[in-house]
Structure 1
């Protein structure tokens, strides 16, 4: 009788990946238009802007890659992630709503609004999937993108009515340019989300097998689905408030990792986070270089890369049939 063993959580390949990502992060710390080593206030600027920006790259990249992994697991669909299910758009709507009620609110209050609306949006998407039977897995992200487009239109209309359209564009730009000390610290919540995903990894994996199997082994399916949705909402809401939209990151990374290592959530989580950090950092460095001394938003580069990967996945899925 053949037995399957879980892939090792740590091996030399992961160690090599960590070294490569550390090298990219070092490049992020060292590279920039402002000379933090030669200027008199260079050390201060390094602590105010350069270091927070690099930390934000780590936390945001890990958060969105992890969100895509969990969302794909819960929906049993490899084509979904926060930007293809409307979750990111709901977070932006929540941010607008908070600023409309309390324009001078702190970033913590903004985060709470974005998280709450992200949770509502993700629940709406999951409820739709449970109520409607879709013949093809390709229809699921299309439905999510349509829902996101509706929410985006509502946000734009609301922003026009409240003179916040310019702010809306800045928030959804998906750039690390505006990350600085005192503004990014809520991203540390991502570590708690990652820890929770790792702790409940096996249960979330069972939930991904379907309600019948989860119930048969004594697992509360709805409770775990609610937990997974909450974790996705927190990660997406926090990243949206601090950085903006990072499209397709949660689509690219989990699929690349699963093609190489399979679908075990617990052993894949370090790889997913590491690859997410690496991709975001590379895109950020490219954005700083390509039109220097100006910067191109990370979301633009991720959008092009993610769209290409999305098309390739659709073509491969169609040919497999």
Structure 2
């Protein structure tokens, strides 16, 4: 059997394994929490004959917990993990930087600044109120970074993107610190969001970010073949018929949509976008047509798993998802680097 066919089958098998694991973890995300629910109670809540899931009247407390709390939380964790995993792979591909993540392009800093500013100016307290400001902040920061990086040269190069992102991030972080230090009330709300968590979000937050996540995912998959060619160099990519400027704009638009929507919803969980592409690349190699789906599924799996762990280890309270990911992921990433297991771009 040709090696190429064998590799394709292994990749497909890997996707199926990830999908099965994701189903198992999704079931655990609905059943496990400060109050664990038996599977028959979860099944009853999901299969209520009068409608699914939120329109069905809650006949038991378990039904209400599943429909109003666990389902929106699990869905948000899956979608934001998917988005951050794909965005991380795209950012590392376009910047050709294996240490790149959403924070590198100023997207997290932009979302944080406008979120803090809106909380300060308008006394917003709920995620569904300031989510649009956070998304707008990520969008504006991304546009500024891309614009600054293209000044003088006519096109944004990987190095200019990194430098512009570092400068914009430093400025926005300073402005954010000034806002939250001047307003203790804003600090109380902001610090819950900035640590990164999927707790405390209802179905409205999921509905608000879903269109942006879907469009961003489609754009990312469309940009994947061209990104493979760009990895060989811009001259080679042009020789293969790739419109370099259009492909880069398409991919970076996907990054802004995915990262902006995910960060606005759950806060800046940048570490996920750094680690997940390295894990996926160990299986798929540098081919972004496979790397992006693997990164998305792994991102969803890791984010939801971290959320479940955070619920269990601190009962009856919980640890925020961003804290769990940083505490577990940082040592693992250091181990990968020291053993030189991370596959190069």
> Is TM (by shorter chain) over 0.5?
yes
Q: How many Å separate the matches in 1 of 2:147 and 2:331?
A: 29
Q: How many Å separate the matches in 2 of 1:298 and 1:3?
A: 40
Q: How many Å separate the matches in 1 of 2:91 and 2:81?
A: 16
Q: How many Å separate the matches in 2 of 1:3 and 1:128?
A: 45
Selected match of 1:254 from 256, 277, 282:
277
Q: Which residue of 1 aligns with 2:55?
A: none
1:155-211 CA-to-partner distances (Å, cap 9, x unmatched) read 121223355122221111211211222232223231222122112321233334443
Q: Which residue of 2 aligns with 1:49?
A: 69
Is the 1:187–1:238 Cα contact (8 Å) retained in structure 2? yes
Asked whether 1:63 is paired with 2:83, we answer yes
Name the SS for the 1:248 alignment partner.
Answer: helix
Is the 1:94–1:116 Cα contact (8 Å) retained in structure 2? yes
Q: How many Å separate the matches in 1 of 2:126 and 2:243?
A: 37
The count of corresponding residues between Structure 1 and Structure 2 is 313
Asked whether 1:232 is paired with 2:255, we answer yes
Q: How many Å separate the matches in 2 of 1:314 and 1:126?
A: 30
Q: Which residue of 1 aligns with 2:190?
A: 168
Cα distance, 1:8 vs. partner? 5.2
Structure 1 range deviating more: 278-287 or 205-214: 205-214
Alpha carbons of structure 1 residues 206 and 102: separation in structure 2 relative to 1, 3 Å: farther
- Root mean square deviation, CA, Å: 3.6
Structure 1: tracts of 5 or more residues without a match: none
Q: How many Å separate the matches in 2 of 1:101 and 1:212?
A: 49
Q: Which residue of 1 aligns with 2:22?
A: 21
Cα distance, 1:35 vs. partner? 5.9
Alpha carbons of structure 1 residues 224 and 107: separation in structure 2 relative to 1, 3 Å: farther
Cα distance, 1:91 vs. partner? 1.4
Counterparts of 1:117-196 in structure 2, within 5 Å, are: 117-125=137-145, 148-162=169-183, 163-189=185-211, 190-196=213-219
Q: How many Å separate the matches in 2 of 1:308 and 1:23?
A: 25
Q: How many Å separate the matches in 2 of 1:260 and 1:299?
A: 25
TM-score (norm 2): 0.77
TM-score (norm 1): 0.82
The structure with the larger Rg is 2
Alpha carbons of structure 1 residues 174 and 106: separation in structure 2 relative to 1, 3 Å: closer
